[in-house]
Amino acid sequence: MTTFYDHDGIRITERWLSIGGRRCRVGHLRNLRVARGRCDRTARRAAYTAVVSLLVVGVTARHVPVAVSVALVVLPALVTLARARLVRPAYLLLADYGGATVALYATRDETEFGKVSRALARAAAGSRCRARSAMPTVPPPRVPESRAPRAGRAG
């Protein structure tokens, strides 16, 4: 049995995908695709806070000192930018399996994700080729000689 990937609890063979104790047949996976997860929750909350702070500063600009107004808007904006830059959304490997869409694998490591997704794509392609070669071939239907066109005769 050919092994396409075997590292850190992930094993992809020509027949099976095994990740963290979960197993599924590679031949039953349909519609393999890649997606990105949601952005960091702290970054989203900081962005919402920055927008709300901007609105509050806009309404109360005459009554609040400029330094406080700037701090209310700039600090959440800086947190948003820092978190969005440092904590990238996860890469997701999705497929249809058993009539439902399932997340097969998720990681923030782009290199590792590329290795796993390429290995699974190779395993799936090999599985499809084996399925086609295992199908019985049906010979073409025979045409009775009485209905077969004869050479040299025009229609």
* 75-131 pLDDT per residue, tens: 877 777 777 777 778 899 999 988 889 889 899 888 999 999 999 999 988 776 654
**Cα gap 79→127, rounded to integer Å:** 47
Q: Give me the chain's average pLDDT, please.
A: 78
Residue 140 lies in a domain: no
Question: Does any domain span residue 155?
Answer: no
Residue 153 in any domain: the answer is no
Handedness of CA 75, 77, 79, 82 (dihedral sign): negative
Q: Are residues 8 and 23 in the same domain?
A: yes
Residue 31, domain extent: 3-36+91-132
Q: Is residue 14 predicted with pLDDT exceeding 60?
A: yes
d(CA 61, CA 73): 12
Tell me the whole-structure pTM to 2 decimals.
0.60
> Which helix (H) or strand (E) is 81 found in, with range?
helix 66-86
Judgement on whether residues 49 and 119 belong to the same structural domain of the protein: no
Can you tell me the mean pLDDT for 127-144?
Answer: 51
Q: What's the pLDDT score for residue 133?
A: 44
**63 occurs within a structural domain:** yes
Do 48 and 67 have their domain in common?
yes
Question: Is 148 a member of any domain?
Answer: no
> What pLDDT is stored for residue 148 in this prediction?
52
Residue 50 has pLDDT above 70, yes or no: yes
- Give the CA count within 13 Å in the CB-facing half-sphere of 18: 13
Cα–Cα distance, 115 to 101 (Å, whole number) = 22
Q: In this predicted structure, what is the pLDDT of residue 67?
A: 79
Question: pLDDT for 15-26, tens place per residue?
Answer: 999 988 889 899
pLDDT score, position 119: 92
Contacts of range 68-72, beta carbons closer than 8 Å, 24 or more positions apart: none
Mean pLDDT of 125-152: 54
- Overall average pLDDT of the 142-153 stretch: 54
Computed from CA positions of residues 112, 115, 121, 127, in that sequence, does the dihedral angle turn out positive or negative?
negative
Q: How many structural domains compose the chain?
A: 2
Flag whether 152 is in a domain: no
- Domain presence at residue 81: yes
Give the end-to-end CA distance of the chain in Å, rounded to a whole number: 57
